[in-house]
């Protein structure tokens, strides 16, 4: 299990399901896609529509493409490094 990233700040949060632990499964607020006071993720950084997140429950780090706003081209997503690896 990874320690929390030094950039992890409770003031910078995102509400995205964790692909590893799926701790939000069964939560009524999360299933209705509302902000939940329990199942949030640390927002470590963002580049355009790409979010770098860490789950406070299992400490998993991953990148999430929102597809919202200033999206990156498919080529830059494919050739770029994979965060957390």
The answer to whether residues 39 and 14 touch, using CB atoms and an 8 Å cutoff, is no
Q: What is the pTM of this model?
A: 0.72
Phi then psi dihedrals of residue 44, to 5 deg? -75, -45
Give pLDDT, residue 48: 84
Asked if pLDDT for residue 1 goes beyond 70, the answer is no
Per-residue pLDDT tens over the stretch 45-62: 998 889 999 999 999 999
How is 28-74 classified by DSSP, letter by letter?
Answer: HHHHTT---SSS-EEEEEEETTEEEEE-TTT--EEEEE---SSPPPH
The answer to whether residues 13 and 40 touch, using CB atoms and an 8 Å cutoff, is yes
């Amino acid at each position: 299990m990874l320690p929390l990233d030094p950039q992890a700040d409770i003031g910078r949060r995102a509400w995205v399901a964790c692909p590893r632990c799926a701790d939000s499964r069964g939560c009524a607020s999360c299933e209705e896609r509302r902000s939940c006071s329990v199942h949030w993720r640390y927002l470590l950084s963002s580049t355009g529509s790409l979010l770098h997140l860490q789950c406070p429950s299992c400490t998993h780090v991953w990148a999430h493409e929102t597809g919202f706003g200033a999206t990156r081209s498919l080529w830059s997503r494919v050739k770029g490094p994979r965060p957390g690896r």
